[in-house]
Amino acid sequence: MIRLTLSEIADRLSGVLHLEGTDATPGTTVDGPVETDSREIVPGGIFVAKRGDDTDGHLFVGAAVERGAALAIVEHPVSDSIAQILVPDAVVALGELARFVVERVRASGDLTVIGITGSNGKTTTKNMLERILSGEDETVAPIRSFNNAVGAPTTMLRISESTRYLIVEMGASGIGHISKLVAMAKPDIGVVLKVGLAHAGGFGGIESTLQAKTEMVKDLDENAVAILNADDSRVASMAEKTRARVVMFGQEDTASVRATDVAGTRTGTSFTAHVPGEEPVRITLRVLGEHHVSNALAAIAAASTLGVPLARSARALETLERAERWRMEVLGGKDDVTIINDAYNASPDSMSAAIKTLAQISEPGKRTIAVLGAMSELGEFAGDEHDRIGLQLVRLNISRLVVVGPEARRMHISAINEGSWDGESVYFGDMDAAYDYLAAEIIPGDTVLVKSSNSAGLRFLGDRLGALYSW
């Protein structure tokens, strides 16, 4: 974090500064990393004692002190000997501190903020854009999928006076969440990838999801840029709801940043990228899946808006070895067995895209195996969406289906009821049983997709299979 005095922070947070039992004064400065997990504190760090569903951060202030914390932001005084700022709500205070730091750096430096949202693809697009921009100038981007009311401001607080680009993932599980993050960061560029049924149980349906994702662009000012997916009609409609200049990306002819001649294999995905005023460039991503072409186009569009030539963006993208841990991560290789571990997250759209990729990259005469777990947070839509995936697997001629866990069993039943399979779909209640089956079932040349929501835990099954077939 940038250097601030304790009194500056307390004033901005409308908090009460407690310095009893410490050597600190209101003029004492702090500039260490801001954390909500005491285990991540480093000497000079700032600990935000937020309350959680399972525990209370105030119980860990002592642990933060032991690790060298210089300041604690708390909702009630604690007995530990550390400078404290007392606030009504620690999470709200974290957001306000992030807003303060972004404002300060923007006023004194040359900071550009890029916000990214969408039902799918945020983390992959963030990683792609970070890879491009970090080769241009100092860039700060989220760790993993830090995109909520805690993760996003924590990312913002990592900037310094010399940061040129700040990339912020903006996730939401309800109306108004993205608006709050936009108000904190005030993006110069707002990227919207897709409107789908991820977290539909919290939103209450696709129209509510559209409303929430539109929050990314509706408050941008006229000097900002809204980068929108031309291939998603709901996202494209946001052009009418923003004052910002609009740049469209996609494979549709209406997109100014376009991809043509898309081709996928087990080793990557290729396409020709087109940007107005530049020569087309053929790009080969190491990341699997045609759906990641859309993410790459979004990153290219943002970078182009910032003046990065297409050729440089292309070179940077081709160095990205994987989207993220457990996201279309290619493992294995022994006996020509490919394990695709994509079990960090799953929505109906991302599940469908992963299955299409599995079908597209299979080689003639070789088998495809889909190992699938539940898609979480779908609420009333869960049954129908699991049914739809089961039908899709049959219609795409996936060779084997292995369904794991009771919440995903409807995929197995739907595949069987489709009527064209006889024994190609199996169900297991737990991962160990599924692993034992797969260890005996997989043969040389197989391509195996492991896909589920994070809560289903199949990423660990994917890792076990990857280790089994690693060289």
Is 122 annotated among the ligand-binding residues? yes
d(CA 316, CA 300): 10
289 is in an annotated binding site: no
Q: Which residues contact 272 (CB under 8 A, 6 or more apart)?
A: 259, 260, 261, 280, 281, 282, 283
CA distance 206 to 348: 12
Q: Is residue 345 annotated as involved in ligand binding?
A: no
DSSP 169-196: E---SSTTHHHHHHHHH--SEEEE----
Is 119 annotated as ligand-binding? yes
Per-residue pLDDT of the chain in tens (471 residues, 90 and over written 9): 999 999 999 999 999 999 999 999 999 999 999 999 999 999 999 999 998 878 899 999 999 999 999 999 999 999 889 999 999 999 999 999 999 999 999 998 899 999 999 988 898 999 999 999 999 999 999 987 778 889 999 999 999 999 999 999 998 878 899 999 999 999 999 999 999 765 555 556 788 889 999 999 998 999 999 999 999 999 999 999 999 999 999 999 999 999 999 998 888 899 999 999 999 999 999 888 888 999 999 999 999 999 999 999 999 999 998 767 777 888 988 999 999 999 988 889 889 999 999 999 888 899 999 999 999 888 888 899 999 999 999 999 999 999 999 999 999 999 988 765 677 899 999 999 999 999 999 999 999 999 999 889 999 999 999 999 998
Interacting residues of 350 by C-beta distance below 8 A, sequence separation 6+: 120, 121, 196, 198, 291, 342
Are 257 and 280 in contact, with CB atoms under 8 Å apart?
no
Helix H or strand E segment including 345: none
What is the 8-class DSSP label of residue 146? -
Residue type, 438: L
| Radius of gyration of the chain, Cα coordinates, nearest whole angstrom | 24
Is 121 labelled as part of a ligand binding site? yes
- Is 350 annotated as contributing to ligand binding? no
Task: Give the span between the Cα atoms of 354 and 120, in whole angstroms.
Answer: 12
- DSSP-derived 3-state class of residue 240: helix
Distance CA 104, CA 45 (A): 19
User: How much is the pTM?
Assistant: 0.86
- Amino acid letter at 173? S
Strand partners, 4: 30
How many CA atoms does the CB half-sphere of 96 hold within 13 Å? Answer: 17
Report the C-alpha gap between 273 and 259 in whole angstroms.
5
Cβ-proximal residues to 91 (8 Å cutoff; 6+ apart), any chain: 48, 50, 149, 150
Please, what are the domains in the chain?
Answer: 4-90 (3.40.1390.10), 109-317 (3.40.1190.10), 329-468 (3.90.190.20)
- What CA–CA distance (Å, rounded) separates 78 from 58? 7
For residue 96, what are the contacts with CB-CB under 8 A and spacing of at least 6?
A: 12, 13
Two tokens, residue 176: 């108004």
Q: 76: buried, middle or exposed (CB in 10 Å: 19+, 13-18, 0-12)?
A: exposed
Residue carrying the six token digits 């039908």: 391
Collapsing DSSP to helix, strand or coil, 451 comes out as strand
**Is 295 known as a binding-site position?**
no
